[in-house]
Amino acid sequence: MVTDKDFKPAKVPTPLKVNLFSSNSSIVSVQSSVTIDVEKWYALATLKTTNLTGTVTIYASAENMTTASTKITVVESERKPVSLKIYSLAKNFPADELNYQGLLVQVLNDKGIPCKVNKSTVVNLFSSSSEILGAPSTITIPANSSMAYTTVVPRLPGSSKVTVVASNFTGTEAAFSVYEPTPASLNLIMPPIPAGGEVLSACLILSSTGVPAPVQEDTFIALTSSNTKIAEVESSTFIARKGYYSLFKVTGKTPGTSSLSASGSGLPSGSASVVVHEVRPSTLFVSSIKPLAGTELPISIQIISSAGPPAVLADPLTLSISSSNTSSFQVPGSAFLKAEDNEVLVLGDVLSTSKVTVTVSAEGFTSSTLQLTPTSYKASLKLTADKISVVDRDIQVSAVLSVEGRPAVGVEVIWKGVGLRSTSTVTLPDGTCVNSLKVQRGENLIEASAIVPGAGLVVNTTKVQGLKEYTLDASSNVGAAIDVSPSGLKYREFTKVTLTAPSPVNMEGILGALGGKYNFVEWTGVVNSKSNPIEIEFKGEASRLSMKAVYTEDLTMVIIWLIIIAVIVIVVSLIVFKRYRSYKKAKAQVEGEAPEEEGEGKEEGKAETPQEQKAKAEQEPVKEEAEKPVKAEQEPVQEPVEEPKQEEKPVSEPSEEKEE
């Protein structure tokens, strides 16, 4: 329950969230929070007990409010219920004829401890003065419950008692006080009145400690003039519910002074002096009431003489009106004053609490200014969105509107910006509203504004940086793997990565085995460079960037190895040849022939004679026999195989041929 400093119920202008805590949830648990709605001063919370007993303190706290607490004792009761007890939600109720769930009827045993009823129990209620406080005739306490809530309707100021009785139960009663919520003062604003003229800017204001105090229901104010020959006034004026001022007409009859009085039911009375003058107009006079941000402000413009008293016009007059700060206060640029009139009323829009000067001028008249300092509630509009996003992606932009730290419900928020889905949204019960933005490339400027009653125009902006997304193809002409740091599938605009091409890279196959390799030469693609590693930045219109590492063949080691192999082959060949010559020489010695060197002196290309060929053929078997010991040392011994008989040759000893 919300109360003022006098502990009387105080209605909240915006939804109020109240946080609830239990000092020992193992005994009594309570819901985490409740919300008191607009124009309400209380809310009900649910408590849940366990099988344990004891005393628990329940705490309630809210922003900009004094924390309150109450103690609850949980007991065990198995006795029979014998009496009733009534509790009031508040000691005082405002006389606003609204239904308040403000009474609690509880069943007690003979020890005064709450206990449950076995079956549904009907309880009768009686109000000692139903015209002051109305209550239902009966309520029902459900079976297996110890209490029930009921409503009351406070109608008129005063006191009343509510009695509760039930069959087989001892009844009880409780006293209630109903008061009328009234403003502290009623002020009349009276500009100078010309004789024979009318003024529309005379008004009355209801206030409390200097701040406008709206009435809780439609209210009529009675008006009287102490001297109707000098000034006449309307018999009454009307203030609509939630309003705090009203305009009324005063007619100046003859020069002089009169007193005006105003009074209304349940309101303090007020009075003001009216001076009626008879003069020629020469100066403009501007007056108004105290402005409240987010509302319309009436401004009265009069024509008066240089001495101050008002006067009437013989001819129509066009007035020029200007505001020194149109973002704070907007007013029509001109107004028209009819002949035989001396006053015109214009309405301006108060947008913020910034100070502003209103200037009124007309040809042939001394201009007049009006200094305005609007008051307002403190409102804030916060915007939330990703600071950086990918181009063409839909992101959420949230706005949170609050007044005096509480959510502002049902207020229209106007959006401006390229790519926004909606131009206006309405705040939800938690004060939030959501829009969608299709991100454009570059800076996306989003502006949200709202006109909050009592707070004026609230504006806020936020920026979202839209970045293009890129992919990277990094390759080489020899199939080498390129290292990309940092690695990824997608890269945002202005991201920098480092490409490293491995060098050298071994060739595949026999060339690689012989030391063949590829050496890095240069990069080609979006950047042409011989540096390795190289850093590139993602930018430009193309969404796919390519970089290729170019390598050249390096066969130096292959050539060196081939030379080494060739040298080895040559050396081995020479060794083999030398051994073969030694073998031939030994063979020749066995056969008794002269070494081959002796025949080296023969002329090259000389043909053998028939006699030489015959002698050579006769010597061939002898040579084969001479070779047998030598081959036996080099080859493993094999079993002799019968050879077909050869034709006998004309030699001294036949030789056998061995099969290798």
Domain of residue 155, CATH code:
2.60.40.10
Query: Both 112 and 241 in a single domain?
Result: no
Distance between first and last Cα of the chain: 123
Task: Kindly indicate the confidence band of residue 613, based on its pLDDT and cuts at 50, 70 and 90.
Answer: low
What are the structure tokens assigned to 257, written together?
């002074």
Kindly give, in sequence order, each residue whose CB lies less than 8 Å from that of residue 190, ignoring residues fewer than 6 positions away.
202, 250, 260, 272, 273, 274
DSSP state of 596: G
pLDDT digits (tens, 9 = 90+) for 162-215: 898 888 888 888 888 887 656 667 777 777 777 666 565 566 666 654 445 567
Identify whether 492 is part of a domain: yes
Alpha helix stretches (DSSP H) within 556-654: 556-591, 610-634
Name the percent of the chain lying above pLDDT 70: 81
Identify whether 655 is part of a domain: no
Residue 45's Cα: distance from chain center in Å? 31
Query: Both 162 and 214 in a single domain?
Result: no
Residue 119, amino acid: K
Looking at 419, 443, 467, which one is the last position of a domain?
467
The alpha carbons of the chain give a radius of gyration, in whole angstroms, of 57
Query: Both 353 and 239 in a single domain?
Result: yes
What are the structure tokens assigned to 46, written together?
């649910």
Element (H, E) at 462: strand 456-467
- Among 99-113, 128-142, 471-485, name the one with the lowest average pLDDT: 99-113
Cα 15 to Cα 213, 382, 413, 560: the distances in Å are 19, 18, 18, 90
Asked whether 232 and 250 are in contact (CB, 8 A), the reply is: yes
Mean pLDDT of all residues belonging to the chain: 80
Nearest alpha-carbon partner for 337 in 361, 353, 356, 357: 361
Q: Which strands make up the sheet holding 236-239, listed edge to edge? A: 193-194, 270-277, 256-264, 219-225, 236-239
More confident residue, 639 or 438: 438
Query: Both 229 and 326 in a single domain?
Result: yes
Task: Kindly indicate the confidence band of residue 581, based on its pLDDT and cuts at 50, 70 and 90.
Answer: confident
Task: Kindly indicate the confidence band of residue 36, based on its pLDDT and cuts at 50, 70 and 90.
Answer: confident
Looking at 176, 211, 238, which one is the last position of a domain?
176
Identify whether 632 is part of a domain: no
Peptide bond into 533 cis (omega under 30): yes
Per-residue confidence (pLDDT) for residue 554, from 0 to 100: 86
Per-residue confidence (pLDDT) for residue 641, from 0 to 100: 44
Asked whether 234 and 255 are in contact (CB, 8 A), the reply is: no
pLDDT at 364 over 70: yes
Identify whether 252 is part of a domain: yes
What are the structure tokens assigned to 375, written together?
């008051």
Kindly give, in sequence order, each residue whose CB lies less than 8 Å from that of residue 580, ignoring residues fewer than 6 positions away.
none
Task: Name the 3-class secondary structure at 565.
Answer: helix
Residue 68's Cα: distance from chain center in Å? 33
Phi, psi of 564 (to 5 degrees): -60, -45
Asked whether 499 and 537 are in contact (CB, 8 A), the reply is: no
Angle at 220 between CA 217 and CA 221, to 5 degrees: 125
Nearest alpha-carbon partner for 38 in 13, 74, 59: 13
Give the residue carrying structure tokens 């070494």.
Answer: 595
> Rounded mean pLDDT of 228-254?
81
Per-residue confidence (pLDDT) for residue 198, from 0 to 100: 58
In angstroms, the CA 144 to CA 147 distance is 10
Query: Both 90 and 137 in a single domain?
Result: yes
Q: Which strands make up the sheet holding 68-74, listed edge to edge? A: 33-36, 16-22, 54-61, 68-74
Angle at 11 between CA 13 and CA 69, to 5 degrees: 115
pTM of the model: 0.35
Query: Both 335 and 432 in a single domain?
Result: no
Query: Both 426 and 484 in a single domain?
Result: no
Domain total for the chain?
Answer: 4
Per-residue confidence (pLDDT) for residue 107, from 0 to 100: 87
Task: Kindly indicate the confidence band of residue 634, based on its pLDDT and cuts at 50, 70 and 90.
Answer: very low
Peptide bond into 610 cis (omega under 30): no
Angle at 160 between CA 114 and CA 35, to 5 degrees: 60
Query: Both 206 and 149 in a single domain?
Result: no
Range of the domain at 542: 469-559
Name the percent of the chain lying above pLDDT 90: 22
Looking at 559, 589, 622, which one is the last position of a domain?
559
Query: Both 461 and 531 in a single domain?
Result: no
CATH of the domain at 433: 2.60.40.730
Query: Both 45 and 168 in a single domain?
Result: yes
Phi, psi of 71 (to 5 degrees): -100, 140
Question: In degrees to the nearest 10, what's the CA dihedral of 487, 492, 495, 501?
Answer: 30
Identify whether 641 is part of a domain: no
pLDDT at 40 over 60: yes
Query: Both 202 and 347 in a single domain?
Result: yes
Asked whether 33 and 17 are in contact (CB, 8 A), the reply is: yes
Tell me the torsion sign for CA atoms 94, 376, 62, 43. positive
In angstroms, the CA 117 to CA 144 distance is 5
pLDDT at 15 over 70: yes
pLDDT at 611 over 80: no
pLDDT digits (tens, 9 = 90+) for 43-72: 888 888 887 888 888 888 888 778 888 888
Cα 241 to Cα 217, 246, 276: the distances in Å are 4, 12, 33
Nearest alpha-carbon partner for 56 in 67, 71, 69: 71
Peptide bond into 183 cis (omega under 30): no
Asked whether 84 and 123 are in contact (CB, 8 A), the reply is: yes
Indicate left, alpha or beta for 364 from its phi (over 0: left) and psi (-120 to 50: alpha).
left
Query: Both 98 and 235 in a single domain?
Result: no
Give the residue carrying structure tokens 């493993």.
Answer: 636
Peptide bond into 486 cis (omega under 30): yes
Identify whether 619 is part of a domain: no
Identify whether 566 is part of a domain: no
> Rounded mean pLDDT of 513-528?
90
